[in-house]
Structures are given as C-alpha cells and as structure tokens.
Amino acid sequence: MWTQKFAARDFTRAQIACAVIALFFCSWPALAQNRPSKVTVGYTGLGGVMISTWVTKEGGYLEKNGLASDFIYVASSSKAIQAMLAGDIDFLTSNSSSVVQANQGGADLVIIAGQVNRMVNSIISLPDIKQVAELKGKTLGVTRFGSYTDFEGRYALNHFGLKPGKDVTFLQIGGQAELFAGLMTRKIHSGVIAPPFLQKALENGMNELVDIRKISPQYPANVMVTRRKFLEANYDTTRRFIKAYLEGIHRTRTDKSFTEKVISKYTREKNPKILSETYDYYSKDAFDKLPYVTDEGMKLVFEQMSDTIPGWKNLKPSSFVDMRILKELDGSGFVQQLYGSK
C-alpha cells in the first residue's frame, strides 16, 4: 500500500514536470517574438547628412519598433560596403554611386530609402580665392573618390565651365573633419564641405564659392542601403527599421532642441551658433517626410559618372532601388499620422 502511494506521488510529479516543460516550449515562440531583433547600422560620415539617422538612434525609435541596435562609424562608403558584404552591417548610409559601383562588381546591395535627396554641400576655398574660375590649376578636396562630395564637386565645376580632373585636380582627403583641417593647413585650395564644418570654415576666413544647393537638381546624395538577401529574409525587420527611420526624420524636422543635442554628441561641436545654423541648414530642406529615391535621381547618378565609368549611362534604376516598404508605409497613412495636418 505504501509502495502504491509512493508510486502515485512520483507519477504526479512526473506529470507536473512534463506539463511545465510543455508550457515552456509552447510559450517559447511568443517569448522569442517579443525579444527585439538586433541590427547593426553603419554610418559613413560626420556631416549633417547623417543627422536624421543619428536622431533615429538617439530618439529610441529603433527600440520602439522592437529593434535593438549597434551603430558603428566607418569613414568611407567603400569600406562600409565591404563590411556589409562580410555580414558585419545590416543597414548602411552610403552615397548612391558607391552602391552602383559595388553592384556592378557583383554585390547585391539595394537602396531601400533616401537619406538626402539633393546636393547639400558647398565649395569652400582659401581666403585668397574669390571666384570659381580661380580654381583652374588648383586642387579641390573631397572625402573619397566616388563619394557624394566627389559627385557634387564634379557637378558644380561642370556647371561653371571647369573640367574636373583637367582644370581642377581632385584630392581625396578623408572625412569632413579632414577636409576642414586640409583647408586650415593649406594642403588643399578648396574643398566640398557641409555643416557643421562649413560654418567653422567661414568663421576662419574661408570663402564660400558655390552653395551647391542652389544649382542642385533632385539627386540621391546619400541613401539607406541593405543587401537584397537580407531584405528578402528579414522583410519585417527591414520594415520596422524604415518605420523607425521615418519617425527619426519627423523628430529631426520638428524638434530643434533635441536634434542640436544629437548633432553635438556625434560631431563634438559645442558652439551653440554653429549647432543652430547646422540644424537650420538641414532640418526641412534636406530630409523629406517620405524619402523616396526616384528614377530621375538615379539616372542623374548614372549620367554624371558615365564620363569616368563607361556603360553607366545605360543602367536601369530598378536594378538598384526597392521602394516597396516606403510605399506600404505611405499607403497605410503612417507618415500622415506622424505629421498630422502639417
């Protein structure tokens, strides 16, 4: 009798243990679903074109959309693309021409949103150079060959009748900070520079020869990129990332105080005047509420670079751009809800 009670007790315990294990495994998918995905985001500059991306991170919008994140700075698009192809970066800010060049070499990158859809830099020169024509026979500093500063410099010089590479020698210097330092040490005669380094250069007596914004057509200066295989395998994660990014753009456009603090954190700029001017320079003109990348903008990239890379003029935008998620969010009314009646 005692043996029977003991056996029954053990059987009951075994039943309870099995029930607990079964409950754990049944609950595991729901628990896993609630755990945030982890994404790595690479940004490729310290200029103002990165502001909305920084605000997306600092405003907590990735976490709000269920994404944990690491942000890493890589000083050039080409190096960042190598890291993405190696699987170290999931989403990347890059100039559009680097994306095209990588795909022409066999990569599977795809542009999923615009970052800045117009030219936003200026050509800044040493104090003794007063006009664009005086750059003939001199040097123009850009961050990297093939970068958006390289593209915008070539576009501006062509606009004013100078031939890039022939009339003006291009030098790749590094980042925006290095361009500013190059001017201050007179290692270059001019540079393609954006805020906050633009204001710092002007405060130090440099001249603004060209505000490239004033001659700019629509052009995807910087874009948001992932790999096609990542997009297809992680469509929902990508959708949540783009949703967070749109919220970051909204915060950038509508919250000057917060955005200035973010700019200061990433650029280490402490001057309130420069921070305010940098915000005003970018906040509404540079960052579109819905950052579509258009066929016309991509065709300009192909055309401008076809002088140095034969065959680019005949490329098709659809080979490099996928706006599905932006269109879905646009159609859902999400962006309209963010801005209300604005």
Indicate whether 34 pLDDT > 90.
no
What's the pLDDT tens digit per position in 237-268?
999 999 999 999 999 999 999 999 999 999 99
| C-alpha dist (Å) from residue 298 to 98, 102, 199, 283, 320 | 12, 15, 30, 23, 9
Q: Tell me what pLDDT residue 341 has.
A: 56
In which band, very low, low, confident or very high, does the pLDDT at 312 lie, cut at 50, 70 and 90? confident
Q: Tell me what pLDDT residue 23 has.
A: 40
Q: Tell me what pLDDT residue 283 has.
A: 83
Q: Tell me what pLDDT residue 11 has.
A: 42
What's the pLDDT tens digit per position in 176-227?
899 999 999 999 999 999 888 999 999 999 999 999 999 988 889 889 999 9
> Measured in Å, how far apart are the chain's first and last C-alpha atoms?
81
Indicate whether 273 pLDDT > 60.
yes
Give backbone dihedrals phi and psi of 134, rounded to 5 degrees, phi first.
-75, -5
What's the pLDDT tens digit per position in 91-149?
999 988 889 999 999 999 999 999 888 888 999 999 999 999 999 999 999 998 878 88
Higher-pLDDT residue of 8, 305: 305
In which band, very low, low, confident or very high, does the pLDDT at 33 lie, cut at 50, 70 and 90? very low
Average pLDDT over residues 62-81: 92
CA angle 62, 291, 282 (to 5 degrees): 85
What integer best gives the mean pLDDT of the chain? 88
Which residue type is seen at 218? Answer: Q
pLDDT > 70 in the chain, percent: 88
The highest-confidence range among 13-22, 250-259, 273-282, by mean pLDDT, is 250-259
